[in-house]
Chains A and B, each alone.
Chain A
Amino acid sequence: MSTPFRILPRVTDRNRHFWTGGRDGELRFLRCRRCGTWVHPPAPVCPACLGDDLDVVAASGRARVATYTVNHQAWMPGPELPYVVAIVELPEQHGLRLITNLVEVDPAEVRIGMEVEVVFEAHPDDEVWIPLFRPVRGNGR
């Protein structure tokens, strides 16, 4: 995925924190000020306590591969094949997950449970920073 081709998300008032946090190197989510529940995808109400006082906070950027696939099919022009699509789960909360691409890794080496960390692909002209994940270096795995 070295080619910076992407279909970009439509940035709105509801999701701007998520797609622009990478400008500051931060993986940002909504979090309920009252009960601490992380809310993703973004919504105006906390699903746990129904409060509407949601704060934008940065997660650690660490995650674990919940599942993945090595994709070989060219669904769109751009991405170099094969590439890895994964669902990663963040340690901040059980079930707090993202679909992402795993980068800087041999697809054959990917495993469920692998420790990964966020790295952002910048699309500054479009005001979007895409959160990708790579294996944690050093103490990882």
Chain B
Amino acid sequence: MTPEEAVLVGERRAVISGVGQSDVGRRLFRDPLALTAQACLAAIADAGLRPADIDGLATFPGGMDTPPGFSGVGITDVQDMLRLQLSWYTGGLEMPSQLGAVVAACLAVSAGLARHVLCFRTVHEGSAQAGGGRASVTPGGGGGSFRATGFMEWTLPFAAPSAAIWVAMFARAHFDRYGTTREQLAQIALNARRNAARNPKAVYRDPMTLEDYLSVRMISEPLCLYDCDVPCDGSTAIVVSAAETAPDLRRPPLRVEAAGTAIRGRPSWDQFDDLTTMACRDAGAHLWTRTSLRPADVDVAELYDGFSFITMAWLEALGFCGPGESGSFVEGGARIALDGELPLNTNGGQLSGGRLHGFGLLHEACVQLWGEAGERQVPGRPEVAVAAAGGGPLAGALLLTR
């Protein structure tokens, strides 16, 4: 990339100035708006700002009542709670993954529409699903007059309401074509649990062995229970600021080096051209067209693990290994450990840390770059981190530097 081309990378005029996170737990039974307030006020203070400085607001997926606990908090809730005076805001589902809200915030400050954008994501799936278990997620659970529409038209009639089933089919295709094994896939879950033990906020911190993994019940083959992330309650907030505000901030902000937002394949789980990868293939390749850095420059990777196989797909998509090679890449687990060549999902990810839905991984990437990760801090002062979110047709990634 030439200096002239680099000028055109608009996201580079954005920085991350602060992060915050509420209490996180399997089931907190707390008002999701209260959790959101906790995260947002922490992030604003972390940046060295006051709520009056915030003039932009961004979230994924916006306020919605179903599925239960997926999001109870939208833009208007937070704007009104903090009486924010906004120059720009956005919230919605149809964007390049959960991190699409943060990418949009980067573009807003880059374009001068806002100076400090508060980005947040709140989940309360743990509490909301406490009564009915995962079955409560299925729309129209009892059938009746409910009729499936949209993408669900092609899945619900076949009793395939869950991403667990869709991801399982991609994992099966990967296993079949490349010889990937459950023992290899297990490393994603085992690594997450090892790291979660060093994260006081993680939902599951007890040690897990390969034997535990191989003997737990199947959900949708080849995915077992430990291949699925854990629904939880919690809120995460990130403040994106215009780079020129750096002197106003509490500490040197993190630079946004590049975003990856592309999707070239068809935007659904069943029609995507290659059933062994996902839209992450396109977003990952796109990211590297916007920077001179290379995969070997990355010191820490926080890659979406709604299901363990999605992390494998991201490892390939971001070029840490070739297509089909993620199984051998993670084999044994040493390479992806905290002291390994590519420390991965250092807070326990969503598999053991809790399903904070993409934002938790970005939060962790920031904390690691600032050297504030405590017991789980990656050694050697990492300088470059990648955070990536989304599975199937959802994919977005951010490359950050300090």
Chain A residues with a Cβ under 8 A of chain B? 1, 5-11, 15, 40-41, 66-79, 83, 85-87, 95, 97-101, 112, 128, 130
Contact = CB atoms under 8 A, between A and B. Distances in A.
A110 B154 CA distance: 21
B148 interface: yes
Contact of A73 (B147, B162, B173, B271): B162
Interface in B192-243: 217-223
Contacts of B165: 69, 71, 75, 85
A69 B219 CA distance: 10
Contact of A100 (B135, B158, B222): B158
Contacts of A85: 158-160, 165, 169, 220
Please indicate which of the listed interface residues B137, B159, B165, B169 has the most CB atoms of chain A within 10 Å of its own CB: B159
B172 A67 contact: yes
B149 A72 contact: no
A72 B271 CA distance: 24
B285 interface: no
Given A68-B169, A112-B172, A6 B157 contact: yes
Nearest to B155: A99
A10 to B, nearest CB: 4
Given A7-B146, A76-B161, A67 B220 contact: no
B173 A66 contact: yes
A67 B277 CA distance: 13
B220 A1 contact: no
Interface in B97-144: 134-135, 137-143
Nearest to A79: B159
Interface of B: 134-135, 137-143, 146-149, 153-162, 164-165, 168-170, 172-173, 176, 217-223, 269-271, 273, 275
B275 A7 contact: no
Contacts of A86: 169
B154 A6 contact: no
A73 B164 contact: yes
Contact of B154 (A68, A70, A95, A98): A98
A72 B148 contact: no
Contacts of B158: 85, 99-101, 130
A120 to B, nearest CB: 12
A69 B146 CA distance: 26
B159 A78 contact: yes
Contact of A130 (B143, B157, B221): B157
Given A7-B156, A87-B169, A101-B158, 4 more contacts: A7-B140, A10-B148, A75-B138, A99-B269
B160 A95 contact: no
Please indicate which of the listed interface residues A9, A40, A66 has the most CB atoms of chain B within 10 Å of its own CB: A9
Contact of A7 (B157, B169, B170, B270): B157
B168 A8 contact: no
B220 A9 contact: no
Nearest to A113: B176
Contacts of A130: 157-158
6 contacts: A7-B159, A40-B271, A74-B135, A76-B161, A99-B270, A101-B159
B217 A72 contact: yes
B176 A76 contact: no
Contacts of A95: 271, 273
A69 B149 CA distance: 23
A98 B270 contact: yes
Contacts of A6: 143, 157, 159
